[in-house]
A and B are shown apart, each in its own frame.
Chain A
């Protein structure tokens, strides 16, 4: 296992289209986080899963956003009817109880044109 994997690395989409990103956490990590990073800013928390349960959603996660982790392993983040303001780097991280750190993936950079 080489770490947290995200796919795709880059996505360009037209405004109004739907997009879906995937995150594969480190094996056996039961905690999975999604963050969003806009240009010139630090990452901001979006949502958190413990196993398959989504335990918290940030106010940043509007109704157009939905995240799933159906089997407690990989996760998907879908954005419907994309807007230009959705352009950002979407970062996934995983961790586990008893581990002090979260391990981040390389991110998916979304550009909405």
Chain B
């Protein structure tokens, strides 16, 4: 969606780090998420960060949030072939007392030997 933008494609060598970037316009979002989607499958939540945090690390995943620039990134250390998938950035937008997710178009990560 136009509220959330991601680059469409990223290619990395196996063992290298991958950095997937996301920019957004809505500064009121309280939670920002990264989802993974493998071919023909649903969405798997990888990690999320609360808007009052700058960084969150979870094993091979590191999320960085720059609220001033409205920029979110996901770093995958030691990228493996099994990491090949589409990665979606999503914001939680609160509306009418509940919340819904606004997704970017996704970044396709290709990992090659």
Interface residues of A (CB under 8 A from B): 4, 6, 31, 33, 35, 40-45, 48, 50, 55-56, 91, 93, 100-107, 109
Contacts and interface: CB of A to CB of B under 8 A. Distances in A.
A35 B1 CA distance: 13
Contact residues of B: prevailing secondary structure: strand
Contact of B101 (A6, A40, A45, A106): A45
Given A101-B45, A102-B101, 15 more contacts: A31-B98, A33-B101, A40-B105, A41-B106, A42-B90, A42-B106, A44-B103, A50-B98, A55-B98, A91-B42, A93-B43, A93-B101, A102-B45, A105-B42, A106-B41
Interface of B: 1, 4, 31, 33, 35, 40-45, 48, 88, 90, 95-96, 98, 100-106
Contact of B103 (A40, A43, A101): A43
Contacts of B103: 42-44
Given A56-B95, A107-B42, A41 B105 contact: yes
Contact residues of A: prevailing secondary structure: strand
A2 to B, nearest CB: 13
Contact of B48 (A42, A56, A101): A101
